[in-house]
Structure 1
């Protein structure tokens, strides 16, 4: 009996223990353990589809930065049948080796055979991305060329940011990178440029790669907006070339900038920044134009002149004693460049010759008892006021006021001649532009509109920062003074009989290590010129600033910055023949029927209007005009329609217009020669894949339009 009870007890014990273990397991699984995910969850996931980033465009629509499609070549190594794979693998490997150059044919064969054994259906091929033309070539390699994708060929589209004009305006165009660094327009307008990503399901394959599946169910991305800037490529190229030419004349320069602004609107038509790199070359790596605030030097004397005239203290004819070129005030001796000084002169000549002594004396004489009046006048002129630019990196300008810790008895005369304040080149430009614009200060801006497929979605209009910064009579007087600087003063080397320039030179020493000159006599200089043209009816304002490294030599604005300004102005003048005075000449002129290139109506109409008997060439409406000759050799104008379903015809056009039309239709262009287009391949009206190459031949007998 006891044995039976003992056995029952043992059984009961194990039953209770088992129950406890089961309950414990249930509790553990319910509250503590992480259940393994399903095989479906392991094999599939949702990934983003990158949207096509919008382009950054010049004011005429030419691309400054765009996302160009590139392709990763892949292969479904499992899909081809054995006979197809075995019969073609040697020749395919040879072609791939010859194309990419990274492996031998046997290396490619071993890699693809191994991938086939593993069942790899998404094998990356090659050592780089390829463009569309290269992709087309690879698509015709052995095995890959088989129809119905029987050769396992796969291409995965990606995009790379491309700057068609290289480093032109690069710092202003800017960039974004994966480290979160973003500058320029790329950074400031990233929200609009990047678009909205889509979503797609991808499946994990053997080897750990992920391949898109159920493509028809993917949520497509929304491409980004194109950003049309205010930049004019022709003026931009002129500014960069002029600046580079000048910088090449001396090894002492460490940086420079040039900016061109449209007077009426404040639109920035060119902005170039050059910084000397470690290899001695200059590159667009720092935006001096908007980010470097320094003591402006003598270009600031214009602000002092405006204040003196506006407050009724002087006229251009008011006498001022510049003495022997040296003037002791408090603890400082103010000096002029010209030895012996200018003696008794009028305000006009003091400005033309940029006399430090005269302007320091004038400031002390009229404002020393009320220094705040002078500073208030500067603030009323909006000098140094924050713009709130549409791109990042705006530097902080400083105009000191009486009562500031840094203010002393010397601050007033120092400010009057261009020291003891900090301005960026863009602030100087905006002030000079206000003078050119009859007193109306315009906010500088870099972006005209956001658009998609050429249609404006959001526009940015010119903004007036103030009413007139001074009276019309003061504007008239300082216009006269600025013109005098170029006619008779420190910038007379750039005076031109063809068109009038007005402006002011600037020369300043740059403080470094808390001083202007070191123990060995080395200084840093800043040479500048700010002005506008044509003087009588200003269209453009520009500023040029060059920065030196430490040197014992002198660098003056009239000698170094003004010539850069002149080169830029000459280029703009050449593109605006209406600024020219009529040329008087003698002799006979033989009239022949002119050759006129087809192109933009706005430009060709100007050309036609300048020709004798312009009315006999006929008229045509529309954005584009083409020209041909009739049986009597007469030029006939017709509206030109761009074919958007096939390759547009660009025969008889200048290179600029041909590039604009073809690139905007999604083609790449290669050209040879110069002048007008005389041949193109594929022919007009033919069908060609977008991103394919259009070859055009230019005639060497005509200058490029």
Structure 2
């Protein structure tokens, strides 16, 4: 008994020692051991499946930026049976060589045969990715046409970002690279666009390639949402084309912008930005509209006029002495463009002619003893509002206050004519849009909604910034003044008999290196025009700003920016039929043409139509005969021959052709006017037929 107990104790002690060693080993490996596992030691791993990035859409749903699928072609060289591989490898190699044009057929054959001998199941084929139509073409090649399980073809999808309209609105649409660096909507809405990637288990093969493990659970990706913008493709094109045309007329310009806003909502319908590159060409590489705050120049006189009218200091008929066009105040001479000046003029005329002298005098006369009241009035108009836009890079506006270290005796008159303040073109436009909108300021916005599979998930939309920037009485007066600029003032070339434009020209010198001109007297200019149309019931507001390099010449808003505004407005007018009186068409009875289609459908609707057919056949498919007086049956053709579907609607043509085992590709809309192969031609099963659709019909 004692011996038995002793043995039990020995076993017990040994188990304890073993347990302690195991525990120590676990602790050591987890906390102290420096074990390096190379990739070659791993046979399985989890791999992400890329989610398809959502599209950026125009206001009508057309894609401005979308992920286009491309495909990497690979081959599981072990899958094809020997007879299939050996009998078709030469033909496959020739097709690949002709398609990729990167190496000869013999080299393709040698690579594929070697890969098969080495048991490679993930052999890359071809030197580039292919698009969807090319992928379909490759899947028809010998061996590959047998599919994945018999032919060994593997198609891996890779998505690439594509802009169908090229560089249109490129800075606003933006981009996002693999490091997360980006701009525009692609950057600011990345959270919604990118989607959620899936996961799958992959296995390392003999050649080192990683291949999905069949039978393992796959977590499918959740594709990204689509972002529908407020942008109109047609208005955007008009803005960019007009801007490029004007910029091509002089070498002095370094950049420009055009913004078009919908008056009632604040929706941005176009935003064009052009910056000159090293080669002298202009491109959408910098967002002047949102990110570039400068002294606005004479477009700011509208705010000064509103302040003077709101405070009751003037009416449009109040007289002001603009003198000989020169006025010395403090350390600066205020000058007007017109030699000899404008003399004694009304406030309305001063605004129409954009007199610096008149507006600087009015500001000093009425606000010199209470400068803060002028600035407060400007601030109450929300002209320097921060919008928290959909786009990154929004610059801050700056309206300086008395008491600021930069404020001086000269600040008040300078601010009244558009200096000593900083505004982006979008800030200026938003203020003008508020004037057009009877005083109601709307927040500018670029995105209408987020969509998933065509269903709206989240809507954005109009947001009011302020109740009213001024009284109704002042609105009526400044509307008259802005219309006067076009009828009688600095923007007279914009006046036209078709529709009315209201607005204000602006010209400013741009400070650089802390001064307004260099040692040689060269200056940088900013020429602008801001306004709205039609004047009587404004639908759109817009601003055009052009920036020059250093030059000895003068560049005025009326001469350079206003013509761009008119080109854009004309385009919108020409495509807006509700602005013009409709042409009344002659009333007459019309009946639909009956040309060809399914017999049962044609016979069902004919009794409801007034037609002149003398006879209607009982066939399954009918067409109109050469006389136009009878509907006859189609001639029967063998199943491997192409039937005649000309003059049929697409629905009937697809039914007839696909039921015969043919595949159909079509372009256009309306009836079938052209088919290839021609009627009666031989076509094997799964053969492709191209159809051209048109609103016309083929006379037979």
State the TM-score bracket (shorter-chain normalisation).
0.7 to 0.9
Partner of 1:383: 383
CA contact (8 A) 2:360 2:414 kept: yes
Displacement after TM superposition at 1:455 (Å): 1.5
Partner of 1:464: 464
Partner of 1:532: 532
Partner of 2:564: 564
CA contact (8 A) 1:259 1:544 kept: yes
Whole-angstrom CA distance in 2 between matches of 1:669 and 1:300: 58
Equivalent positions of 1:559-598 (< 5 A) are: 559-580=559-580
CA contact (8 A) 2:670 2:695 kept: yes
State yes or no: 1:188 paired with 2:185. Answer: no
Whole-angstrom CA distance in 2 between matches of 1:507 and 1:650: 61
Out of 28, 32, 39, the residue aligned to residue 31 of structure 1 is 28
Change (3 A) 1:165 1:36: closer
Change (3 A) 1:29 1:445: closer
Unaligned runs of 5+ in 2: 1-16, 592-605, 613-645, 651-663, 678-687
Whole-angstrom CA distance in 1 between matches of 2:676 and 2:458: 36
3-state DSSP class of the match of 1:468? coil
Displacement after TM superposition at 1:681 (Å): 7.2
Deviations along 1:485-505, whole A, 9 cap, x unmatched?
000000001101110000000
Equivalent positions of 1:191-270 (< 5 A) are: 191-214=191-214, 217-270=217-270
State yes or no: 1:431 paired with 2:431. Answer: yes
Number of equivalences: 609
Whole-angstrom CA distance in 1 between matches of 2:489 and 2:269: 28
State yes or no: 1:73 paired with 2:70. Answer: no
Whole-angstrom CA distance in 2 between matches of 1:693 and 1:227: 36
Whole-angstrom CA distance in 2 between matches of 1:456 and 1:274: 33
Q: Which runs of 4+ in 1 moved over 3 A?
A: 20-30, 32-41, 610-618, 628-633, 649-653, 668-672, 675-683, 692-701
Displacement after TM superposition at 1:110 (Å): 2.8
Whole-angstrom CA distance in 1 between matches of 2:155 and 2:689: 19
CA contact (8 A) 1:171 1:284 kept: yes
Equivalent positions of 1:588-627 (< 5 A) are: 611-612=584-585
Displacement after TM superposition at 1:513 (Å): 1.6
Displacement after TM superposition at 1:671 (Å): 6.5
Whole-angstrom CA distance in 1 between matches of 2:440 and 2:569: 22
Change (3 A) 1:448 1:23: closer
CA contact (8 A) 1:230 1:268 kept: yes
3-state DSSP class of the match of 1:470? coil
Whole-angstrom CA distance in 2 between matches of 1:515 and 1:679: 68
Displacement after TM superposition at 1:284 (Å): 0.9
Equivalent positions of 1:254-293 (< 5 A) are: 254-293=254-293
3-state DSSP class of the match of 1:217? coil
Change (3 A) 1:73 1:275: same
Whole-angstrom CA distance in 2 between matches of 1:482 and 1:226: 40
The structure number with the bigger radius of gyration is 2
Partner of 1:325: 325
Deviations along 1:568-614, whole A, 9 cap, x unmatched?
1001111123323x5xxxxxxxxxxxxxxxxxxxxxxxx8xx54467
Change (3 A) 1:44 1:427: same
Unaligned runs of 5+ in 1: 1-19, 583-606, 619-627, 634-648, 654-667, 684-691
Equivalent positions of 1:611-650 (< 5 A) are: 611-612=584-585
Change (3 A) 1:490 1:37: closer
Equivalent positions of 1:42-191 (< 5 A) are: 42-147=42-147, 149-191=149-191
Change (3 A) 1:189 1:340: same
Equivalent positions of 1:269-418 (< 5 A) are: 269-418=269-418
3-state DSSP class of the match of 1:294? coil
Change (3 A) 1:274 1:698: farther
Change (3 A) 1:333 1:450: same
Change (3 A) 1:358 1:652: farther
Change (3 A) 1:497 1:388: same
What RMSD, in angstroms, separates the aligned Cα atoms of the two structures? 3.4
Change (3 A) 1:303 1:147: closer
CA contact (8 A) 1:294 1:423 kept: yes
Displacement after TM superposition at 1:215 (Å): 5.8
Change (3 A) 1:269 1:106: same
Equivalent positions of 1:511-550 (< 5 A) are: 511-550=511-550
Q: Which shifted more, 20-29 or 441-450?
A: 20-29
CA contact (8 A) 1:133 1:693 kept: no
Whole-angstrom CA distance in 2 between matches of 1:676 and 1:556: 51
